[in-house]
Structure 1
Amino acid sequence: MADDLVNSYKTGPDDQGRFGIYGGRFVSETLMPLILDLEAEYERAKTDPEFWAQMDDLWTHYVGRPSPLYYAERLTERLGGAKIYMKRDELNHTGAHKINNVLGQILLAMRMGKTRIIAETGAGQHGVATATVCARFGLKCVVYMGATDVERQAPNVFRMRLLGAEVVPVTSGRGTLKDAMNDALRDWVTNVRDTFYCIGTVAGPHPYPAMVRDFQSIIGKEVKEQIMPREGRLPDTLIAAIGGGSNAMGLFYPFLDDKEVRIIGVEAGGHGVDDRMEHCASLSGGRPGVLHGNRTYLLQDADGQILEGHSISAGLDYPGIGPEHAWLNDIGRAEYVSITDKEALAAFQLCCQTEGIIPALEPSHALAHVIKIAPDLPKDHLIVMNMCGRGDKDIFTVAKHLGVDIQT
């Protein structure tokens, strides 16, 4: 890659929220004042020591950060190649990386005087994190969740309701993450005065992609600090699963200017990336378009209509990707591959049996790619994959696909 691009890796977005031709803010006139207010508040918060002191305190004493960087010894021995580390963000309070970002957004919401928080969720982890932080600060919480995901993520639906959130099943479209985000945006337009939209990924109108990335970059910053005393150098390869891409962007961002570090994002290949679009691999099988306030790669037909993708993983079941990922793909700084449902299920089971860790189906996609490439790499090659969520939420889905009646 061209040397003159290196210094630009971490300069995006520009003043209009664009990463190259991606990003931006394509929103209604009603929402534009709120977007501009949020951008201004975040710019103030970024340079406010009190804001970051509060974040650090909550990350440490409420979330449980730093999360461990774990050497997967038995998996490494089983594969016989590269040395595999797992960044264990599934050990965070609420069981995933989502709370890293939710804390920041809700602190901003309170600084802006908002008392009602809305969110979209797919796998339910962002919804649970939002409901958790709202309970912590006494805020009203409404979570939009596709009806399909309500059924396949029943444990997280119950958790959200226990935490006091109202969970609204969305029946439009295929009843998945895209449809939940559509209804959340409709709510926001209707309730602009007291409502803050807490977006769960590095997508949406500017400043959300950059803001969510900044909050999630605690993941990669910790990896940099943790790997040095263990190995004395940076990892050779970073691997993370991608739906919208917040856990991946959080891991990748602090390493973008480290040219020697290979970066791989893993999309949901579903039943296979082909013309039937039975997958959610936007970079592998999509093209640029506009959805949910930003321009990025999308699954769409010849007329630009958004197609219904598929993934066994509710958190990856989204027909787009964060705009910064689209940009990193185009300039060649990061590589993006896809993993099928079948491969993710196999990785899920191998992780359980070799490391005693039950992963979510989302990071199981990343782990499946680790399993593919690690055996052919030298034994001194260091891989860090982001174990971004725990798998208790997915046991019903996995049992169904394995033909197991979990009720008996």
Structure 2
Amino acid sequence: MFLTTKLAEGVNLHMRQTTQFKTVNFSIKWRSPLTTETAAERAVLSNVLQHSNGKYKKSAQFRSYLDDLFGTVLYFDASKRGNEHTVLLNVETVNDQYLAQNKVSSEVLELLNTVIFEPNFENGQFVPSIVEREKEMVIQRIQSIFDDKTRYAQTRLTQIIRPNHPASISANGTIDTVKQITPESLTKTYHSMINEDKIDIYVVGDIDVEAVQKKLIEYLPFTDRTPKPLEVNNADVKPEKEYTKEQQDMKQGKLHIGLSTPVMFGDEDFPKMQIFNGIFGGYAHSKLFMNVREKESLAYYASSSYSSHYGLVYVVSGIEPTKEKKATDVIFEQLEAMKKGEITDLELSQTKAMLINQLKEALDLARGQIDIYDQYKDLEEQFSIDLWKERWENVTKEDVQKMASQVELEAIYFLCGKEA
């Protein structure tokens, strides 16, 4: 799917030549071990780098130049996956061959060089006023979780079942760790990211692979690095208590349940676990949706998700607070039914079709191709739709029943109004 070349030790270039798109997409991912402190620093850093640089010191000036480049889109973001924190730089620009004067790609690569290697420094470090402004923006982003009760409940559940673990560390860090950031510490984080992080560079579009590779080597002169080793956190952390109830000013109840599975991303049983989650609560035809929401009318919504890098399954539902016990009982009835092998042919076939269609839809976008390849590239075999389609198609009811039998309760978290 992608042609991979090593540009330097710890720096890999992945290119895909395709006539599927009229744009060229670039994505650069800097990866570092995930901790609360590094997440906070890197989240603020991604904000600072997005809005200005050594050449365009004002955000409006920078955005105006992007508009001049035929509406080129450029943005930074911070995310996490497993035990890694990632700073992303994504750029989408028009392909030169659709323009009368085909020189935009060179200007975009020049801009990439500026954005990455020429930060907006004052006396050798980031401008204090800009750092303070972007710290405030990240703090507001973290605080917004408190206003979204579903996200808040999910955050609290992960903190309860996996305290001080990558599963419960936010990609933005915490308010306290963000407040501690200084221009000096952020400058140090920047240099560490540029010179020490593991880097993956992606390019997707109708391109001349050799020519673009030559230009990238010129404009992105990353040097050899030995990326920091990831600490694999396999500690068997168990929550202190199985049930937690908290109250706030709100009407709807948020019932979130944390379950664990020994099956992780990349394991042989991983495709089977994906099917399990789809039938359990992943889609509109799932047992949770059809029984908890539709049949029993116990929830405004009810679904499950499989966090494969942490071996966790989350059930989330919005309910009337008075229906908490009944809703909890019906949720666990669905899991028990699957453990007994009560899975219909329709549930199995619909889930397989949904997984296959989701994959195909994602690959219709350049960003989707990058994200999927980036996730699956570390597995031993070459990624392809046909391979994963075959894996899902081969999953039987017995396989799903076996997956269900390995799922265990970690904790229940219930967030509701003060009158409940």
TM-score range, shorter chain: under 0.3
Give TM-score, length-normalised by structure 1: 0.25
Larger radius of gyration: 2
